[in-house]
Structure 1
Amino acid sequence: MGHSFFAHYQKLVDDQVLKPDPAQADIVRQFDELAQKLQHHQSQKPNFFQRILGQDHAEDAPQGLYIWGDVGRGKTMLMDLFFNHIEVEKKRRVHFHEFMAEVHEGIAAFRKSERGKENGRRDPIPYVTAPIIEKVKLLCFDEFHVNDITDAMLLSRLFGQLFEAGLVVVATSNVPPEGLYKNGLNRQLFVPFIELLQQKTKVLRLDVDHDYRREKLEEQPIYFFGHDDKAQAGLDRVWNNLTGGQTGERENIDLQGRTFSVPQQALGVMRIGFKQLCEAPLGSRDYLRLSHHYHTFIIDEIPYLDRARSDAAKRFILLVDTLYDRGCKLSASFAAPLDELSGDDQTAFEFQRTLSRLVEMRSLEYLGAPLNDVEETEENSVDV
């Protein structure tokens, strides 16, 4: 790294990309300390005997971070800045729900395999953790939240092996570790995982008294009507307000084995055209994956949805449903007022729900609400 993570953060403040905030700065100092420890740990190469024994200084791995606090305080933003800044081999950033879905897929694959069939009592956890340990040394989780009993009963063994292998975890959450799986069934069996998490991560509260995301969206209109220079300028202002005027970078997202290119993104905000988002062969599962990467969607040039755009209209309905259920924020330019946007009899009934949700999504109550966990199901994964 050319300069420390704190220096990188301070430059963003100096450039007025971020507002100065003492609580955020304290968290950044913790990130900076972790970055230095990770760099040192990465530079320590195992000796001959350690290589023979398969050891990789796992016992010397630094303590990770678990950062919790209310919505809109900047937890995810700071973690993403850290993740993008640090030069650590084998790092991964993933939404916690998405990660656990991959774990369950791995367990199911093991049980269907010959090794799994040979002995029904064989533990699938080593099979699932092996590729993670091989590919990842720093694992960054967004929205760490446990409400499923299957996950709750699995986490202690799963993370026990990951931590034993020296994997370092950074996580953001709306609740402290002791608030995870609160009042859940058989919670006493989950308590050892809480203790493990508190041992392997430094628990920090981001105690900021401002919901920056809500404030930035409340300061100006977020819907614009007409595809003209005025609407374009309006969306530009929303982008600049949310990202501090950053240019934004292209990012490639894996959608079920396909690469989807987001043309412009920064600080959890994506900007994209309607055509790329709703005229491409995407479905609810894809939109859900995108909603785990970005908290705010800025969409340019949503057209009049007549019968000639019936498929695109169906995808737009799926997109709005997904964003609404997740609590993601939306800013967009529309070809017509909302109640005049649809002219397709085939989607007229469904679009009434979409219209209602679009109206609600610009309300102050919605803008101040947190993101929600949404599980992927067969019902909502059908492509159009």
Structure 2
Amino acid sequence: MNGIKQIFQKEMARIFRDKKMVFSVFILPVAIMIGILMVTGTFQRRMLSNIEGHTPIVYVENEPESFQQFREAAEIKVKPVKEGEVEKVKEKILKGDVDLLLSFPENMDHKIAEYQTGDEIPEILPYYNPGEDYSKEAFDTVGGTLLETYRQVLLGQRVGNLEQIEIFKVDRESEAIQIKDEDKVNGKVLGMMLPYFITILLFAGAMGLGVDMITGEKERGTMASLLVTPVKRSSIVLGKVFALMALTGISSVIYVAAMVACMPIMAKTMGGNIGDGFKISMDVKQIIMLGALLIALSFLYSTLIALVSVFAKSMKEASSYIMPMYMLILVIGLSTMFSFGNTPESSYWIPVYNSSVVLKEILTQEVTILHYVITLLMTFGMGVILTGVIVKAFESEKVMAS
């Protein structure tokens, strides 16, 4: 135990005495992540504001008098298409110079007025470019909402009172119909984003520290000196793994606290309404479950990084081996970020993936004790197995001499 404590204290002191290391490990990663999200959200908000503030360029072919009166009342400006210029307007839509072309059938007002059952129904063709944001917005507003309102006006003129043909209506907007748990709603916001960021930031932190702790010492020659000391090799392994686990755990607490504190700000930056009334509320049970799982994840990631670092001959080689693992962690995080519905039972037996799923379920208050225990034991169990492999590798002169 003295050997483990000695190595643990040595590694902790080495990190915390280096101010640059403290900044790069605990502050820089989360600052970069939050900065990227806020900058991305700002650009997204500006883009949406720009689209909404754009006056659509709309051309109309064979505009009926009824539509002209209707759109003028709605203060919508359009340009008439001259004879033989329809194809030119379509080319301008393709280039992004025109947003929308509304093509009405000839004599539409007459066809509507003289309509008899069985006659061909007049069809309006809204031409737009789905690859252009302005064009798509014009299609949604002018070609969609405006034309639907216009259709309702004409229908009212034909049948008189529209309430005669409206059998029922559905209220989809009133808050009175929303039977919701505020804590669960806020938890879902956290549950979608937080597990992903925790997973990748935890692994990134362990990666930066772990490679230097083991491969870095081998490369600098200090590992050889450490191995000839009276300290047992198993104590060296456990001391380094526990130090890496502690540092990764501390970083996870900092990351979670920073992400939770900044999430309402980031939501408002992205122009959403998530930040309005957004509150974090977790009971003692959730906090304990979240804390224990973060410790288990820190242990597993530390042993994964340490295992690769033991077998690598240089820091460059170790980084090249770890990078595919990092990409896999990214994919796993993304898969849980956009997952919906019930999670298959088999998912809780898959290391790393099960942790991301359970982290999400803890925040959304949907986790079961059975799934949590399975995930926790699997995560700790994998860490213990990997620690045993690392100890065996440390005892091999062939591995350590490389």
| TM bucket, shorter chain | under 0.3
Q: Which has more radius of gyration?
A: 2
Q: Which structure features the higher share of helix residues?
A: 2
Structure with greater strand percent: 1
TM-score by structure 1 length?
Answer: 0.22
Question: If the length of structure 2 is used for normalisation, what is the TM-score?
Answer: 0.21
